[in-house]
Amino acid sequence: MSTPVNHVNNKCVQIIESERNKYAVNIMCPKLIDSINISKLLYDLMTDNCRQDTSNAEYIVVFKLTNDDPSLITRAIQETQILKTTVTRTNKYNGKKTIVDSFWSACEKYPELITEINNHSTPNEAKWLLASKYKYCIVNNFMPGYARAIYLYYLTPYIPYIPSIPSISSISLSVDKVPADEPLVILDQSVGWTDRLLGALSCINKIKNGIRYVGFDPNKSLRSGCVDVMKLFGQELTEITDSYMEFTGTTGNKHSIHSEPFEQGILEYPENYFDFAFTSPPYGTLEIYSPMNPVYKNWIEDFYKPLLIQTCRVLKPHKFCLLHLDDSSSCNVSDLLIAVNTFCDLKLVGKIGLLGMMSNKIRTVWVFQKIITE
């Protein structure tokens, strides 16, 4: 006999709530979530007229948001975990690494920091303002508005997959594997703070047949936040195991989040499965997220190269993979990214720029395409 859906949902909710408590932090401090209006921020996200500038020759397009407040949604939902993340600084001359305190470790070290925050007129701003005084660092997030702009740029209007040189086998492949009423399947190799998840869900109704989001992240403490973001869009948790969560929405499209390293979990997916891949992976050891994450001796060989090779394998021909990544004091990746076509069928086709609202600094998103030459 099959289990009634409500019963399954209740069980899922219990599991995720006990996980939320397990990874909570018991320090009395005002929470960002209590100071924001999520409905208003969602409205702002979905109505932002992101500026697209194609005049900079270095970039395919440079996006500039008109309002970055919606990033408070993910920052608030994942606040506990964001404030737990530590940053490492690597000395570029001798390679020596120093670990900078996270906000929570500074709170444990200096009880007066909590008092100062609680007495401040805007406690959530004080968390940032007191960083240099107490020598801690708070990490940034990708921002859901930029993720939404990128998904809309690449996924609308929906263009069905048509093999470049039709042959009998490729025609039957396109009919069998890409029926017209299938949602677009998008891959996020490192879910992180859920900025791309939020960005993707916010454009479901703009994409013909919607999307199916598949994400990976070994850090299980982020799972309850993923459930919260899914809920904002009516996507209910309908299955949960130690390493997997499945969500079902009103359209019937399912979304999956795997709690395991991408390079391992992706092996169960077949070739030519995804319509789009886009992520913001770790910058080597620049940020340290959780003891659940693998530690790589050689980030290039053990993480970035397998990530590119596996993404290429599961991406459909001609589809795009976007990576928000750059050289950092912790790891130089650009040589590998430029040479991607020497070890798989991805080819670097350009870069997208993300212009900050307050500064002229442009963040880079690398754009690769899976090119199959017959």
Ligand X SMILES: C[S@@+](CC[C@H](N)C(=O)[O-])C[C@H]1O[C@@H](n2cnc3c(N)ncnc32)[C@H](O)[C@@H]1O
190-209 positions binding ligand X, by CB under 6 A = 190, 192-193
The residue (of 87 and 113) whose beta carbon lies closer to ligand X is 87
Least CB distance from residue 85 to ligand X, whole Å? Answer: 8
Distance (Å, rounded) from C-alpha 68 to C-alpha 329? 27
Q: Which residue has the tokens 């969560």?
A: 245
328 in contact with ligand X (CB under 6 A): no
The residue (of 141 and 369) whose beta carbon lies closer to ligand X is 141
- At position 30, the amino acid (one-letter code) is P
User: If we measure between CA atoms, which residue out of 346, 354, 352, 275 comes closest to residue 312?
Assistant: 346
Least CB distance from residue 187 to ligand X, whole Å? Answer: 11
The residue (of 247 and 303) whose beta carbon lies closer to ligand X is 303
Tokens read off for 45 = 């996200």
The residue (of 221 and 248) whose beta carbon lies closer to ligand X is 221
The residue (of 86 and 293) whose beta carbon lies closer to ligand X is 293
Distance (Å, rounded) from C-alpha 183 to C-alpha 254? 10
What is the Cβ-side half-sphere exposure of residue 68, based on CA atoms within 13 angstroms? 15
**136 touches 102 (CB < 8 A):** yes
- At position 307, the amino acid (one-letter code) is L
Tell me the number of residues near ligand X by CB under 6 A: 23
CA separation, residue 275 to residues 145, 166, 174, 186, 204 (Å) = 21, 19, 13, 6, 14
Tokens read off for 301 = 């060989």
281 in contact with ligand X (CB under 6 A): yes
Question: Does the bond joining 306 to the residue before it have cis omega, within 30 degrees of 0?
Answer: no
Identify the sign of the CA torsion 127, 132, 136, 138: positive
Task: Give the range of 41-49, 116-124, 134-142, 175-183 binding ligand X by CB under 6 A.
Answer: 134-142
The residue (of 113 and 245) whose beta carbon lies closer to ligand X is 245
The residue (of 210 and 261) whose beta carbon lies closer to ligand X is 261
141 in contact with ligand X (CB under 6 A): yes
Helices 5-22 & 223-232 angle (0-180, nearest 10): 130
Judged by CB under 6 A, the residue of 136, 216, 247, 304 near ligand X is 216
Percentage helix, strand, coil, to 5, in the chain? 40, 20, 40
Judged by CB under 6 A, the residue of 70, 144, 218, 249 near ligand X is 218
**Contact partners, residue 312, CB within 8 Å, separation at least 6:** 321, 344, 345, 346, 370
Task: Give the range of 109-117, 210-218, 234-242, 244-252 binding ligand X by CB under 6 A.
Answer: 210-218
Least CB distance from residue 358 to ligand X, whole Å? Answer: 17
Least CB distance from residue 121 to ligand X, whole Å? Answer: 29
Binding mask 245-264 for ligand X (x = CB under 6 A): ----------------xxx-
Task: List residues near ligand X by CB under 6 A.
Answer: 139-142, 189-190, 192-193, 216-219, 261-263, 280-282, 289, 293-294, 303, 324
